[in-house]
Amino acid sequence: MRILIITNLYPPHGRGGAEVVVAQEARELRDRGHEVAVLTTRPFGGVSSLAPRLSVEDGIRVYRYYPLNLFWYRNDYRHTAPVRFLWHIMDTLNIHAWFVTRRVLKQIEPEEIRTHNLKGIGITTAIALRQYLLRSQKTRALKPPFAWSHFLHDVQLITPSGLVWHGKEDAWEHRGLPTRAYRTLTRRMLGSPTTVRAPSEWVWNEHWTRGFFSNSAFEKIVWCPPATNLLVSWRPTRPLRFLFVGQLASHKGILFLLDMVREIPGGACVVNVVGDGPLMDAVRQRAAEIPWIHVHGRLPLVRVKEVFKETDCLLFPSLAHENCPTIIVEALRQGIPVLASRVGGVPEIVADGVNGWLVEAGNHDAWRAAFGRLVSL
Beta bridge partners of residue 294, listed in sequence order? 272
Q: Based on the fold, state whether residues 165 and 303 are members of the same structural domain.
A: no
Domain that includes residue 346, residue range: 240-375
Residue 291 maps to a domain: yes
pLDDT, tens digit, 9 for 90 and up, residues 199-231:
999 999 999 999 999 999 999 988 776 667 888
Q: How many domains does the chain have?
A: 2
Cβ-proximal residues to 189 (8 Å cutoff; 6+ apart), any chain = 92, 123, 124, 126, 127
pLDDT of residue 134: 85
Residue 234 maps to a domain: no
Burial 231-259, CB ≥16 within 10 A → b, else e: eeeeebeebbbbbbbbbbbbbbbbbbbbe
pLDDT of residue 142: 56
Beta bridge partners of residue 197, listed in sequence order? 151, 219
Which parts of the chain sit beneath pLDDT 70? 140-146, 225-227, 377
pLDDT of residue 161: 87
pLDDT of residue 103: 96
Q: Look up the pTM and report it.
A: 0.89
CATH (domain of 318): 3.40.50.2000
What are the DSSP calls for 76-95, one per residue?
GGGS-HHHHHHHHHHHHT-H
Q: Based on the fold, state whether residues 284 and 155 are members of the same structural domain.
A: no
The Cβ of residue 202 has, within 10 Å, a number of other Cβ atoms equal to 20
**Closest Cα to residue 248, out of 273, 230, 266, 267?**
273
Residue 270 maps to a domain: yes
Residue 235 maps to a domain: no
Please say which residue of 220, 255, 275 terminates a domain. 220
pLDDT of residue 77: 80
Q: Based on the fold, state whether residues 176 and 275 are members of the same structural domain.
A: no
Q: Based on the fold, state whether residues 247 and 198 are members of the same structural domain.
A: no
pLDDT, tens digit, 9 for 90 and up, residues 258-288:
988 888 877 788 999 999 989 999 999 999 9
Q: Based on the fold, state whether residues 141 and 289 are members of the same structural domain.
A: no
